[in-house]
Amino acid sequence: MSAGIIYGVGLGPGAQDLMSVRADRLVRGARHVAFFRKAGRKGQARAIVEGMLHAEAVEFPMEYPVTTEIPFSDPRYNEILSGFYADCTAHLQRLAKAGADIVVLCEGDPFFYGSFMHLYTRLKDVVPVEVVPAITGMSGAWTATGQPITWGDDVLTVLMATLPENVLAEKIAATDALVVMKIGRNLPKLKCALQTAGRLEDAWIVEYAQMPRQRVQRLTEAKDVTPYFSIVLIHGQGRRP
């Protein structure tokens, strides 16, 4: 029996009809579906495909043993997550070696700051793995603002709000267009960095881009409480005939 294929399928920013035709076909046809989620939650990736799965699809939720309870800098963080990814990998590998195709649901684009990459690097030399790219969350966010993100020769910098404030300020001052992800509790720090860089007035925040709860605001008008998956951005002002 030949091995099954593990598909890392990008679902895009959240609206079902923003999934690619290829992703749509794979998700609806899948008999084995795996996805990450925080323990006790439904899971954002699983929520996106609600109503699309085959009646006989077997679901394999992969529940993070830790999310923000331990800081990244704690040596236990890497150790715990590494064991978790190894367990997930072992299960998917067993299924694939028994001949099953498996669709791993991935929010956004799998190779762009995604969790699937941790499975991918462990699986790619052992079983067949295919990755389906997708619309990134940031594309969903800048489209939601109704303004293009980059023009002409604009430089675009993508930053994680988990970076230190001084690094954020320095990078923000040096770019034309900006996207910042992993916001959540880092928002007050990010606001300080934007202020230091002289760019706070230009910043927008998008919550739940391309989802029913979508909200687009100027950052100066937004509260300090926002989801981890919110996106802050500054539009480039480059050449435009």
Site residues (vs a copy of itself, CB under 8 A): 12-13, 15-22, 24-25, 72, 77-79, 81-82, 85, 109-114, 117-118, 120-121, 124, 131-136, 139-140, 142-143, 146-160, 162-163, 171, 174-175, 210, 239-241
Closest to a copy of itself by CB, 33 or 135: 135
CB atoms within 10 A of CB 7: 25
Closest to a copy of itself by CB, 24 or 63: 24
Closest to a copy of itself by CB, 82 or 227: 82
DSSP class of residue 149 equals S
Closest distance of CB 203 from a copy of itself, Å: 17
Q: Are 175 and 149 in contact (CB under 8 A)?
A: no
Q: How far is it, in rounded angstroms, from Cα 219 to Cα 236?
A: 16
Q: How far is it, in rounded angstroms, from Cα 13 to Cα 53?
A: 18
The partner residues of 218 in beta bridges, in order of sequence, read 204
Closest to a copy of itself by CB, 44 or 210: 210
Closest to a copy of itself by CB, 132 or 194: 132
Closest distance of CB 151 from a copy of itself, Å: 7
Closest distance of CB 139 from a copy of itself, Å: 4
The encoded tokens of residue 204 equal: 């927008």
Q: Are 197 and 143 in contact (CB under 8 A)?
A: no
Q: How far is it, in rounded angstroms, from Cα 32 to Cα 57?
A: 5
Closest distance of CB 159 from a copy of itself, Å: 6
Q: Are 206 and 141 in contact (CB under 8 A)?
A: yes
Closest distance of CB 1 from a copy of itself, Å: 25
